[in-house]
C-alpha cells in the first residue's frame, strides 16, 4: 500500500475550507494543509492578500474566494462556491482588546460578529446546505484567553469562550454523521498582527517555558484534527500553551 495513503495524518484527496487565510494563522494553516496533500478553498476579506496566499500553496486545483463573513450575502455565496468539503478551519478573527469600563455596544457587536457569529453562521450554512461530507471535521480557532483572566481582553476572551461552548454542543448534534467538532486554543502566537509590538512579544515570551507560538504550530495541530488520525476525537479543546501555567 502507498505509504502516503496509509498515513492517517495525511490530507490527500480532502478538500478543506480555511477562513482568514489572507494572513497569520489562517494563511499558515492553508500552506501546511496543502503540503499535507489537501485541496484548499481559502477565504478572507482582502482579495489581494488572499491571492498571495494562493500563490504559496503547494500542489494545484486550489481556489481563493474573497468574502466578508459578517455579510450574510457574501457568506452564502462562499458556501455555494465552495462545494462539498471534508473539513473547515475557522481562522478568521480580530483581537478585540479594550478594558470593560470603555466597552461600547458597537465595539462588542463588532468583536462578536467576527469572532463568534461569523464562524457559527458559516458552519450552520455548510450543514444546512449539506456541504460537509459524512466523517468531515469542523475546527474552531479559539484562544488561551478563553481560559484565563487578562486585563483588557474581556470582549476577545468572551467571544473565544463562546466558541468552545458552541463547539461542544455541536459535536453532539453532528456525531451521527461521523462529523467531528473540535477547538484549538493557542496561546500568544507571533503573527503580523503583533509585529508592531515587539517589546510586548519579548516580555511575554519569558512567560512561556517553550516560548511563544509560531503560526505553523497551530497549523500542525489543525492537520491532526482534519486528518483521519483524529476520527474518534470530538468536542475537545486542545491548548497550545507552550507550557505556561494558567490554572
Please pick, among 156, 208, 220, 224, the residue that the annotation labels catalytic.
156
Dihedral (CA of 92, 50, 7, 135) sign: positive
Rounded (to 5) percent helix, strand, coil in the chain: 45, 20, 35
**Tally of CA atoms within 13 A in the half-sphere of 103 that contains its CB:** 18
Beta sheet of 237-240, edge-to-edge order: 63-66, 39-44, 15-19, 85-90, 132-141, 180-186, 237-240
* 107: its cell numbers: 465595539
Q: List beta partners, residue 180.
A: 137
Is 208 catalytic? The answer is: no
Just list the catalytic residues. 156
Amino acid at each position: 500500500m502507498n505509504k502516503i495513503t496509509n498515513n492517517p495524518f495525511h490530507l490527500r484527496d480532502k478538500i478543506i475550507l480555511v477562513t482568514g487565510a489572507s494572513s497569520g494563522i489562517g494563511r499558515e494553516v492553508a500552506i501546511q494543509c496543502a503540503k499535507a496533500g489537501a485541496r484548499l478553498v481559502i477565504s478572507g476579506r482582502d482579495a489581494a492578500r488572499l491571492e498571495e496566499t494562493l500563490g504559496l500553496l503547494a500542489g494545484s486545483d486550489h481556489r481563493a474566494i474573497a468574502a466578508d463573513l459578517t455579510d450574510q450575502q457574501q457568506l452564502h455565496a462562499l458556501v455555494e462556491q465552495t462545494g462539498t468539503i471534508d473539513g473547515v478551519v475557522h481562522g478568521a478573527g480580530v483581537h478585540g482588546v479594550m478594558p470593560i469600563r470603555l466597552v461600547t455596544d458597537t465595539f462588542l457587536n463588532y468583536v462578536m460578529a467576527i469572532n463568534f457569529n461569523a464562524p457559527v453562521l458559516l458552519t450552520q450554512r455548510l450543514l444546512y446546505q449539506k456541504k460537509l461530507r459524512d466523517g468531515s471535521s469542523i475546527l474552531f480557532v479559539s484562544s488561551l484567553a478563553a481560559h484565563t483572566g487578562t486585563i483588557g481582553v474581556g470582549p476577545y476572551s468572551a467571544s473565544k469562550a463562546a466558541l468552545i461552548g458552541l463547539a461542544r454542543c455541536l459535536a453532539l448534534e453532528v456525531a451521527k454523521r461521523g462529523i467531528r467538532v473540535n477547538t484549538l486554543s493557542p496561546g500568544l502566537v507571533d503573527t503580523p498582527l503583533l509585529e508592531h509590538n515587539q517589546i510586548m512579544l519579548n516580555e511575554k515570551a519569558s512567560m512561556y517555558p517553550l516560548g511563544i507560538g509560531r503560526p505553523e504550530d497551530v497549523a500542525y495541530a489543525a492537520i491532526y484534527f482534519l486528518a483521519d488520525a483524529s476520527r474518534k476525537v470530538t468536542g475537545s479543546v486542545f491548548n497550545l500553551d507552550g507550557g505556561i501555567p494558567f490554572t
